[in-house]
Structure 1
Amino acid sequence: MRAIYLICSFVFFVGCKPILNDNQKELCFSEKKENPHAFANTIFKESEYNYLKPLNCLLLNEDYYREIDAIDFYYQTLLTFSSFANDSLVYFDTYSKRFKSERKNNQYKFDTLKIIDGKIFIINKAKNERVIMFNEQHYRTNQRFFLKSLLQDFKELGYNYLALEAADNTNFRENYILNHEEGFYLNEPNFANLVAEALKLGFKIKSYESNISCVESKNCYNFRDSIQALNLNKILKDDKEAKIIVLAGGSHIYEKSSRNKNMAQYFRELTGINPFTVDQISLVDNCTNNNSFYYQANSNFDIKSPSVILTEDDSIYEYDNRVDLSLIYPLNNQQNWMFEDKSVVEIKLKKQYNRLVFQVFNRKNSQKIPVFNKVLYSTDSTLKLYLEQGEYFYVVKDENDKIFIKKNFKIHH
């Protein structure tokens, strides 16, 4: 990138901060600068959805958000936008800053426990359910990938709705081509791929987020979750044959709470249906996780893919009594499960690109959201892409949409 170079410090993670010239700095300012998410999202839209630009502008303003005591919100926003662009160096550096903790040394016994593949277990369990709820951390994109891998099996079991907290559009239809206005998180490639796959399989996509402003309620969290439950209940009222997969953020699927009542609790009260709830956010590798149970379980069972821990009588091990199932993910260096049933193509880069974004698009439709993103560093000379068979093209470009290379390619079995 012209006039941009990097200051990188190599400690445990690599921290990289772009240095921008005065003209580029002007492009980063926004009237909503006090709110880091609004600041970055405004830039994202004004740049016509360039994935690198809001990320660079956030990095430039870290000191500002520390000064106004908004650093945690800033880190959360930076995690989100680095996950959108798939900038692994910024992502892990930000994670280490936001979640500083020391790992506890509690010791656990696993001699009466065992594991089973999570996909096999969940699909078998879903045979006798009508509503199954998953949660996610909005910056953990592999959790969307896992849900996508279940869709074909869910469809064969008669599930016909995918309900999304994150979607804004309520009029998804067959052969619908996603654009950038369907919902903020649907701009992340794995989320867009999830929706595209669901539409291809014939699922009806429903948004259940509350679109009513909380004005008079004393507890806006409860208000929001109650409206979410009402919207999900409407799906059941409108279609007596509905079987629903729900994807929510964080605690909304918790069936017990100490203070705020959650969507899943309201839903059960409204419908009389006890949803099967799958937590994906507790037993994950986050590089600063103080959850010794997670690391000891991975070491003991050598977990290779999202799995379920069972007791010796084949009951689900109760890690968290707020949900029916706590899915355990493998360590970050054991992500090969994401490449199953995929074709691979190797892309060799003829030049070194430092902090440019590599994007893959499907040539057969006009979807504007990439199917794959990656921020390139000078060490990236060869990329392995694991994608569905089809016709694609890739581009390498900078934050001002200057294209350095564009090339068509095919993937076939």
Structure 2
Amino acid sequence: MKLYLIILLSLLIGCSPKINKDPEASDQNQKWNSILDLFNSYNKSNQFYSISKALESYPTNNTDEAWLKLQLRLTVTSYLRNNKEYDELLNEYESRVATNDTILNTIHKNVVSDSLAINKIVESAKDHQVVMLNENHFYPSHRILATDLLVKLRAIGYTYLALETLAETQDSLLNLEGAYPTLETGYYTREQNYGNLLRQAKKLGYKFVAYENIDKTKDREIGEAENLFNKTIAIDPDAKVFVIAGISHILEEPTSDGKKWMATVFKEKYGIDPLTISQTQLSIYRKTLPGKYNLVEKSNFNDHGLNSVDFHILNNMEYPSYWDSTFNYKNKYKENVQIALFYSSELKTDSDFQKAIPYFTALIEKEENVTLPFNKDDEIYLVVYDEKGKVVEDQTINENRSMNYANLQSQYPRILKNNKRFLILIVKTIKVRL
């Protein structure tokens, strides 16, 4: 019987179609005009480890280029969980930010945390038509707060989710029945927490709005404010809108140099006072607090910049688990790899993972054992990339797979994907006869 199985597998190897599953990675040896060009060459890629290695090796010629390189590397490494490089880069970035003892003392005297912080936001949101939450693009925890607020805001009537990062026309595509995010959806939405935020919003019935300014003849902040209003309240006067924006766009007051950011323009032009929540201005102090979400109201500060938003959140949230089951995986390769998990329901063809957003992705060190999440009712597709972006392993995972099938997957992943039903039947037959 064992000989029969070996012969069967040999035949399948010979007759299986040759499918090139390796995404078209950017040539790391190509001469780029700038590190930003290199970064943008990967803007439709989920090979985050490969991007990270390419950025790491790119030379810089001055302090400005080095500063940009640090931020770009932070952005990409933040897309991968279990990433020591991200932790090191973030420490380097935050070490450059000065702290203030007066501000620190004010925070500790007036902070409310976790459920009290969330409840404060929700209660205040009841009295507003628009809630604006900002994020720093290389702090994944900022998307987790947004995700946690989705259900609670939906329960009090918020039905629009406006996202600065959405690409042009992608809101219309996401609003279609059965739609899901892809690498085309937006600039930062390929990060796993952002992708999961979009999936959750879709389940809750939010209507997506892209409001980034695409009119090059118009000031960006004015264009954003106009798009936000025209796509929501202008056509639905009773609309309640949850807005996610980059760092300073939610400032409600002009800066000291007179600049008016999007929220200022929106408030002045349309007479609508948004509830604004900043996760960025006091982020450097977050580790001094034990709570996951820590809120301080603007009224506690005597500072124009800090008074330009309603609430400050100091976000210490770790990665949550939205899944009901796990499975174990060991990196059997002699190098670090990126593991990416996709929902099979979002993959219509054999190569669709190349344009999909993983619901989970992490850096796995050589010979490391890890526990990976999935839902029992979902079939998922596992892909392993090496540092060049080459697929070195792929397999389908579901709750009902037998140990025999799992063992075979690790040896013949691509064969099994193309011949799954037939091999399951053979394995079950062998188990019975043995």
- Structure 2's unaligned 5+ residue stretches are 1-24, 348-352, 401-434
Inter-partner Cα distance in structure 2 for 1:392 and 1:175: 17
SS of the aligned residue for 1:198 comes to: helix
TM-score by length of 2: 0.73
SS of the aligned residue for 2:264 comes to: helix
Partner in structure 2 of residue 220 of structure 1: none
Deviation at 1:83, TM superposition (A): 1.4
Cα distance change, pair 405–352 in 1 and its aligned pair in 2 (3 A): same
Cα distance change, pair 382–255 in 1 and its aligned pair in 2 (3 A): same
Partner in structure 1 of residue 318 of structure 2: 335
SS of the aligned residue for 1:84 comes to: coil
SS of the aligned residue for 1:236 comes to: coil
Correspondence 1:239 to 2:220:
no
Between the two proteins, the alignment pairs up a number of residues equal to 354
Alignment equivalent of 1:258, drawn from 242, 253, 256: 256
Deviation at 1:335, TM superposition (A): 2.3
Q: Which amino acid aligns with 2:91?
A: S
1:351–1:381 CA contact under 8 A, matched in 2: no
Matches within 5 A, 1:6-405: 27-30=27-30, 33-45=32-44, 49-61=46-58, 64-67=59-62, 69-86=64-81, 88-101=83-96, 104=99, 106=101, 108=105, 113-117=110-114, 118-168=117-167, 169-171=170-172, 172-173=174-175, 174-214=177-217, 223-234=219-230, 235-256=232-253, 257-259=255-257, 260-284=259-283, 289=284, 291=285, 294-296=286-288, 298=289, 302-303=290-291, 305-309=292-296, 317-318=300-301, 320-330=306-316, 335=318, 338-339=320-321, 342-349=323-330, 351=332, 354-366=335-347, 368-378=356-366, 380-385=368-373, 390-398=378-386, 399-405=388-394
Inter-partner Cα distance in structure 2 for 1:154 and 1:389: 27
Partner in structure 2 of residue 8 of structure 1: none
Partner in structure 1 of residue 420 of structure 2: none
Deviation at 1:404, TM superposition (A): 2.6
1:308–1:316 CA contact under 8 A, matched in 2: no
Partner in structure 2 of residue 409 of structure 1: 398
2:26–2:41 CA contact under 8 A, matched in 1: no
Question: CA deviation digits over 1:119-142, x for unaligned, max 9?
Answer: 222122211211000000001111
1:360–1:393 CA contact under 8 A, matched in 2: yes
Q: Which amino acid aligns with 2:57?
A: L
Inter-partner Cα distance in structure 1 for 2:120 and 2:325: 28
Cα distance change, pair 374–387 in 1 and its aligned pair in 2 (3 A): farther
Cα distance change, pair 119–394 in 1 and its aligned pair in 2 (3 A): farther
SS of the aligned residue for 1:94 comes to: helix
Partner in structure 1 of residue 421 of structure 2: none
Deviation at 1:104, TM superposition (A): 5.0
Inter-partner Cα distance in structure 1 for 2:249 and 2:107: 30
Deviation at 1:227, TM superposition (A): 0.7
Inter-partner Cα distance in structure 2 for 1:354 and 1:92: 20
Cα distance change, pair 227–30 in 1 and its aligned pair in 2 (3 A): farther
SS of the aligned residue for 2:340 comes to: strand
Q: Which amino acid aligns with 2:332?
A: K
Identity %: 23
Cα distance change, pair 230–145 in 1 and its aligned pair in 2 (3 A): same
Q: Which amino acid aligns with 1:321?
A: N
SS of the aligned residue for 1:166 comes to: coil
If you compute each CA radius of gyration, which structure gives the higher value, 1 or 2? Answer: 2
Inter-partner Cα distance in structure 1 for 2:250 and 2:264: 8
- Structure 1's unaligned 5+ residue stretches are 1-24, 218-222
Q: Which amino acid aligns with 2:318?
A: Q
Q: Which amino acid aligns with 2:171?
A: T
SS of the aligned residue for 2:242 comes to: strand
Q: Which amino acid aligns with 1:185?
A: Y
Question: CA deviation digits over 1:197-238, x for unaligned, max 9?
Answer: 112211110110000115xx7xxxxx1111100111102111
Higher strand share: 1
Cα distance change, pair 181–104 in 1 and its aligned pair in 2 (3 A): closer
1:160–1:203 CA contact under 8 A, matched in 2: yes
Cα distance change, pair 409–237 in 1 and its aligned pair in 2 (3 A): same
Inter-partner Cα distance in structure 1 for 2:389 and 2:192: 20
SS of the aligned residue for 1:396 comes to: strand
Q: Which amino acid aligns with 1:224?
A: R
Note the aligned Cα RMSD (angstroms): 2.9
